[in-house]
Amino acid sequence: MKHIPRTLGGLACAGALGLALGGCGKQAGEQAGNEVAADAAQASYVAPGEKDDYYLFYSGGHSGQVYVAGIPSMRHISTIPVFAPYPGTGYGFDEESKAMLGDFTWGDVHHPALSQTGSKYDGRWLFVNDNANNRVARVDLRDFKTKQILGPIPNASGSHASSFVTENTEYLFVSTRFSTPLPKGRVADLEKYADEFNGMVTAVEVDPESGEMKVGFQILMPPFDFDLASTGKGPSSGYVFFTSYNTEMAHDTLEVNASQADRDLGAIINWKAAAQAVRDGKATEMEGVPVLDPAKVPGIVHLIGIAKSPHGMDVDPSGKWVVAGGKLQPTTTVINVEKLLGAIEGEDYEGDFRGIPIVSHDSVVEGEVPVGLGPLHTQYDGRGNAYTSLFIDSAVAKWKLPPWTDEEKADLSKVVVDKITVHYSIGHLVVAGSDTNAPYGKWLVAMNKLSKGRHISVGPSQPESSQLIDISGEKMKMVAEAYTEPEPHFAQILKVDEIKPIEVYPKAENTNPNAVWDLADGKVEREGNHVTAKIVAVRSRFGPDKVEARVGDTVTLHVTNIEQTPDMIHGFGINDHNINIVVDPGETKSVEFVAQKPGIYPFYCTNFCSALHQEMQGYLVIREAGETQAPVQ
Amino acid sequence: MKHIPRTLGGLACAGALGLALGGCGKQAGEQAGNEVAADAAQASYVAPGEKDDYYLFYSGGHSGQVYVAGIPSMRHISTIPVFAPYPGTGYGFDEESKAMLGDFTWGDVHHPALSQTGSKYDGRWLFVNDNANNRVARVDLRDFKTKQILGPIPNASGSHASSFVTENTEYLFVSTRFSTPLPKGRVADLEKYADEFNGMVTAVEVDPESGEMKVGFQILMPPFDFDLASTGKGPSSGYVFFTSYNTEMAHDTLEVNASQADRDLGAIINWKAAAQAVRDGKATEMEGVPVLDPAKVPGIVHLIGIAKSPHGMDVDPSGKWVVAGGKLQPTTTVINVEKLLGAIEGEDYEGDFRGIPIVSHDSVVEGEVPVGLGPLHTQYDGRGNAYTSLFIDSAVAKWKLPPWTDEEKADLSKVVVDKITVHYSIGHLVVAGSDTNAPYGKWLVAMNKLSKGRHISVGPSQPESSQLIDISGEKMKMVAEAYTEPEPHFAQILKVDEIKPIEVYPKAENTNPNAVWDLADGKVEREGNHVTAKIVAVRSRFGPDKVEARVGDTVTLHVTNIEQTPDMIHGFGINDHNINIVVDPGETKSVEFVAQKPGIYPFYCTNFCSALHQEMQGYLVIREAGETQAPVQ
């Protein structure tokens, strides 16, 4: 069956915002549509046996996970479980991951960030935030697994503007979308919001060797809702830029009350100066964290008026320009970093907010570009172009960064060089490598908030839609559409050949004291009412394949997958027990439970392994507590 | 970047099993490869704005879920959470779905089955099993949501051979992969496995109006491991056919001990006769279920010797042929239903197993077709062809069903008309509509067990690979490859235009007594230490947006999404509380918790809804238990 893209003959061509691909319109007819479809089909097709060129790591929003897709095929490749249990890999079922998740079984992942060295991706880690429970997590790109969850972060509510890494991953910046009275747990009347509530920016320190995260320091902020951030590079090195909304400091019916002011205030943080101030003893401790008050420590925070209700605040690859998108204003605000630093140096202020200076807007803003309705977030291709998502227009605008000609300056609509319709209500967008100093540039992914039945119907719970756009030419070209789990907020794109993940855990690296590597060493031992089994999993058996316990016993099972062959994964599920762990080649995983009910419970390999996978099973025998003769194998 | 399929120029052409697509080989060179790739690219491409033609519902194995993909694009569309919580839709977080999941947070989904009327899909329900915890679930195709989980089913361990629906969805058949002493909870020595352990076939009755499932009756079975099943139609109407392995009745090291016999025994169950026997009072009760003993109730179960260690046992669309694939034998066994019924009628037996007659193999087997190594599972296109997955060969064989010519009968290798290589280690395969009496026929999906690095590397936890094959012509054509969550065991394919799911819950249907439909009706009430809030969610606010409670209070929140616009989904997450529910348009959902710690906890809409989505928030205020003056709004 041939799929002629109706959008080309109809919707997109009829729209006001330009063409998805060249050559449509009624005259062009079906023939041109066919050619265009064939081109796009070819551009996104990755034939069986071939591989994608780029990883797309996209946030799974309130699903709590990170998803990996391939570009250009946009195929879903795998799920990296982070903040929610995922029985497919046993995450949240074995003791180690259970402990990492703690009391939480979900998270709200917004903004993934690849680690950087010298403002380039170094392929080591992916950091993601949990807005719901004030946490950040680190995924190791050596094995694509979550290795640490930090939090809940003290003194913070809603780690939304996170994770954003500094140019050498010295810090992750995390700021609060919500404000509360501090210290947390203190109750104040909501009517006193403006005076009693505070936001917080947290600098999470990252160990340069291990990636281990810890809370470094915090900066007390006014009770604005901090939204997004971007870190400096080149001339803006050492700075991090945040947007905020609700500078009205409303505490109810925010829909109306947080949209009153004509401008909101962005925050410009000199994190190197802040770190120095902490070292200089200028912080006070709150809940064990050194906290800086910017009204008392001048020079670490400046504010700037930006377009109303902004979302993105994005530093370009050169580090010379910072673009803020104000969703309730049809322009992006382009800040000139050189002028900004000059204004800070010269104390060129237009006022202050509770002792935090507000930089003179007109002195530092290079221009406001009329990109279209609802500009949210801007990305860059490294060739001097910016791409801004237009939420209300459901489009992406491509426009030229400064320097602008005098003619352009006189009419900034002239720097907008292309627009493409997306479907629908785009939030974030990502250009491959945009947040480095050397973007890959070729691809843009539009992360649309509403799919509105673009897909085959799956009932009221609609997926989101993401669209792949080729930005290698003068005009943007729509290539493919994919559907994504709820809900992608932001993404990172990494060239496939920049990392080389392992596929097997080398035996030599397994230092787990409970690992056993030979069927002869598998055993079940009892000490008092604690039964411990050390079990080998290997194609296609468990050794031992019988574990005996008595009701009331604590049973600990350590399962070692002694395979050293890629993709030879074994699972270990116990019937009727809500227990399933999945053990990758070379790994040891443990699960502990109290034997509750007498009976014979088969256990089996839950992850297909061989022709005799179905035969890979054994029995958990639980005898009555009184049966003292229970033999132990 | 052009992706030239290397498999065509290299691997597939070099392989022994035929070509993935025509026209390759060294002479054909890159040009032919390009054309082939262009054809396949076009065949699987669904342009932005166009929709797929078929739903692919595939089992998510130990991930516990069902996934929906589109054919021909093979794009992942959405997740239907069934046996595991899924915060993306709030499943397992609201009170109703929490109650449905009970104590379990995972399942092992193997075989989805669409409901049928007259041996055709009727588009009403999708049933799936949980092998791990002996359950079955019903997904409603009106809204793609799980509506019922039945189980754990009494007297059963491992509901593997499930779900398989009868021709009018009178019953779902479910049989045990594991055997235990019965009643469950009784402990017997494993050494007495053959005598003390039993398997069970369960007939789950389905209400023809509501789809409500209940355990109808059970049939006591020998302690074999029942694997897969298929229900009769046409001449085989009223029967269900099961394979089993471990007819050796081994209880340890099954890898070796369950592969001794040259043949295993399939089970042929006359379910209409069994249902009648139950009505006739021939069952005895066990754990509240009427259980038939086939040794005592003749005519309900017959056994038949089939190829060694079989997996599939698949009735063809005409109902005349049943094909068993024995994974340790390079042939499929083709049973002639007419002869089988004659043999049963004429008591043409070759023995019995503990009183259950074994039908004479040679009298009923039409032939054994040498399809290749490791035949597992067979599907049909309705044009007289069968497609068998070859696990060891990593291939699919296409072969002609009977009637065969004399020449073919003399050498059944002649009925094998095509083979195509798949990657790698195919388990199940699915042909669109194969289990109905009128297959759609066009597409086949190979569900491969090992992907072995076919995809961009995601570390040791590799996804599975599924491949789309065009079977509309004489030769099978490889079209596309997709990666699937662990792990697809079987799937169902449904034509998109055969169902019309709703996208909004009509207000008139919402009978929840706690629903409120007007901001003016939203309220928070206290009765003793129970705080109940009825909250309206609508773009872009919660009403009320403040809920006050005291430590120790039970707090119940009922959130009604009063939108009647498709895709206008709202979430409701509470900071620091591990609470997130997602409410579709027109739905009311509830969550209950005990207020634990004083403080002010922002709540917010977790599912994007509008330009002012970020402003859709409020506060949960928890005061100290002693603060008796806590105002209630």
State the pLDDT confidence band at B14, using cuts at 50, 70 and 90.
Answer: very low
Q: Classify burial at A519, counting beta carbons within 10 Å of its beta carbon; exposed 0-12, middle 13-18, buried 19 or more.
A: middle
Closest-CA residue of B relative to A576 is B133
Which tokens sit at B267?
């089970």
Sort A607 into a burial class: Cβ within 10 Å, 0-12 / 13-18 / 19+.
Answer: buried
Query: How far off is chain B from A338, nearest CA to CA, in Å?
Result: 32
Residue count of chain B, please give it.
633
| Option in A52, A251, A481 nearest B48 (CB) | A481
Q: pLDDT tens, B338-385?
A: 999 999 999 999 999 999 999 999 999 999 999 999 999 999 999 999
B248/B484 Cα distance (integer angstroms): 35
Alpha carbons B574 and B561: distance in angstroms, whole number = 17
Chain B residues lying within 8 Å of A586, measured CB to CB: 460
pLDDT value for A7:
32
Query: Closest residue of B to A467, CA-based?
Result: B48
The chain B residue lying nearest A228, using CA atoms, is B614
Half-sphere exposure for B5 (CA within 13 Å, toward CB): 32
H or E element at residue B273: helix B271-279
What confidence category does residue B621 fall into, taking pLDDT thresholds of 50, 70 and 90?
Answer: very high
> From the DSSP assignment, how many helices (H) and strands (E) are in chain A?
10, 43
Q: A108-167, pLDDT tens digit by residue?
A: 999 999 999 999 999 999 999 999 999 999 999 999 999 999 999 999 999 999 999 999
Distant-in-sequence, close-in-space partners of B136: CB < 8 Å, separation ≥ 6: B127, B128, B129, B130, B149, B150, B151, B153, B159, B162, B163, B172, B174, B204, B213
Residue A59: helix, strand or coil by DSSP? strand
Average pLDDT rounded to a whole number, residues A304-321 = 93
Q: Cα angle at B284 between B281 and B290, to 5 degrees?
A: 80
Residue A178 and residue B617 in contact, taking contact as beta carbons nearer than 8 Å: yes
pLDDT reported for residue B628: 58
Q: Which helix (H) or strand (E) holds A90?
A: none
In chain B, what is the straight-line distance between the N-terminal and C-terminal CA atoms, in Å? 61
B608 has pLDDT over 70: yes
Tell me the HSE value of A322 on the side-chain side, using a 13 A CA sphere.
Answer: 34
Determine the distance in angstroms separating the CA of B617 from the nearest CA of chain A, rounded to an integer: 7
Taking contacts as CB-CB distances below 8 angstroms, the residues of chain A near B460 are 143, 502-505, 566, 569, 584-587
Report whether pLDDT(B498) > 70: yes
Smallest Cα distance from A3 to chain B, Å = 6
* Lowest-confidence region among A224-228, B1-5, B494-498, B572-576: B1-5
Instruction: Indicate which of A139, A449, A600, A616 best probes the interface with B, i.e. most B CBs within 10 Å of its own CB.
Output: A600
B179 is written with which tokens? 């055997």
The CATH H-level (homologous superfamily) assignment of domain B227-444 is YVTN repeat-like/Quinoprotein amine dehydrogenase (2.130.10.10)
pLDDT digits (tens, 9 = 90+) for A166-215: 999 999 999 999 999 999 999 999 999 999 999 999 999 999 999 999 99
Residue where the block lists tokens 């999993």: A537
Kindly identify which residue of chain A lies nearest to residue B447, measuring between CA atoms: A608
Q: In what order do the strands lie in the sheet with A66-71?
A: A76-80, A66-71, A54-59, A491-495
Interface test with A, best of B39, B68, B608 (most A CBs within 10 A): B608
Contact A408, A388 (CB under 8 A): no
Q: What DSSP state is assigned to residue A15?
A: S
Say what percent of chain A tops pLDDT 70: 93
- Please state the rounded mean pLDDT for residues A439-461: 95
What single-letter DSSP state applies at residue A457? Answer: P
- How many angstroms away from the CA of B306 is the closest CA of chain A? 18
**Which tokens hold the place of B253?**
């090291």
> What is the pLDDT at residue B589?
98
Q: Do B599 and A184 touch (CB under 8 A)?
A: yes
Q: Tell me which H or E stretch contains B633.
A: none
Cβ–Cβ below 8 Å for A486 and B253: no
- pLDDT at res. A76: 97
Q: Are B575 and A462 a contacting pair at CB < 8 A? A: no
Compute the average pLDDT of residues B542-555. 97
What's the per-residue H, E or C state across A129-198? EECCCCEEEEEECCCCEEEEEECCCCCCEEEEEEEEECCCCCEEEEEEEECEECCCCCCCCHHHHHHHEE
Whether A630 has a pLDDT exceeding 60, the answer reads no
CA distance B602 to B624: 17
The number of CA neighbours under 13 Å toward the Cβ of B71 is 29
Q: Using CB atoms, pick whichever of B50, B62, B456 lies closest to residue A3.
A: B50
Contact B462 A567 (CB under 8 A): yes
Token pair for A489:
């907020």
Q: Look-up: residue for tokens 């993105």? A: A312
Q: With an 8 Å Cβ cutoff, are A614 and B158 in contact?
A: no
Residue located via tokens 């070509």 = B19
Choose among A5, A451, A505: nearest Cβ to B50.
Answer: A5
Residue B610's contacts (CB-CB under 8 Å, 6 or more residues apart) are B539, B540, B616
Q: Of the candidates A46, A49, A62, which has its C-beta nearest B11's C-beta?
A: A49
Quote the tokens at residue A224.
């604005």
pLDDT band at A19 (very low <50, low <70, confident <90, very high): very low
- State the span(s) of chain B assigned CATH 2.130.10.10: 227-444
Given an 8 Å threshold on Cβ–Cβ distance, is A78 in contact with B587? no
- Asked if A601 lies within 8 A of B157 by C-beta distance, the reply is yes
Q: Which residues neighbour A278 within 8 Å (Cβ) at sequence distance 6 or greater?
A: A216, A217, A290, A292
**CB pair distance less than 8 Å for A41 and B37:** no
For chain A, what is the mean pLDDT?
92
Q: Would you call B487 and A52 a contact, using CB atoms and an 8 Å cutoff?
A: no
Distance from CA of B486 to the nearest CA of A (A): 5
Contact list in A for residue B184 (CB cut-off 8 A) is 599
Q: What is the largest CA-CA distance in chain A?
A: 94
CB contacts of B254 in chain A (<8 Å) are: 541, 612, 615-617
Query: Which of A8, A106, A496 minimises the CB distance to B578?
Result: A106
- A-chain residue closest to B461, CA distance: A584
Across the interface, of B68, B152, B482, the residue whose CB is closest to A576 is: B152
Q: List the single best residue of B6, B19, B44, B45 to mutate versus A (max A Cβ within 10 A).
A: B45
Which of B67, B79, B77, B210 has its CA nearest to residue B138?
Answer: B210
Q: For domain B507-623, which CATH number applies: 3.30.70.100, 2.60.40.420, 3.40.47.10, 3.90.1010.10?
A: 2.60.40.420
Whether A459 sits inside 8 A of B177 (CB atoms) is: no
Q: For a pLDDT cut of 90, what percent of chain B falls above it?
A: 88
Provide the mean pLDDT of chain B: 92
pLDDT band, very low/low/confident/very high, at A255 (cuts 50, 70, 90)? confident
Is B416 buried (19+), middle (13-18) or exposed (0-12) by CB count in 10 A?
middle
State the smallest CA–CA distance between residue A565 and chain B in angstroms: 9
How many other CB atoms sit within 10 Å of the CB of residue A54? 23
Nearest residue, CB atoms, A190 vs list B181, B582, B619: B619
> CB distance B392–A611 less than 8 Å?
yes
* DSSP letter string, A356-385: EEEE-HHHHEEEEE---SSEEEEEE-SSSE
- Nearest-Cα distance to chain B for A90, in Å, is 8
> What is the location of CATH 2.60.40.420 in chain B?
507-623
pLDDT at A256: 87
- Residue contact A392–B611, C-beta within 8 A: yes
In a mutagenesis test of the A interface, which of B257, B376, B458 is the best target, namely the one with the most A β-carbons within 10 Å? B458
Chain B nearest-CA distance from A171, in A, is 24
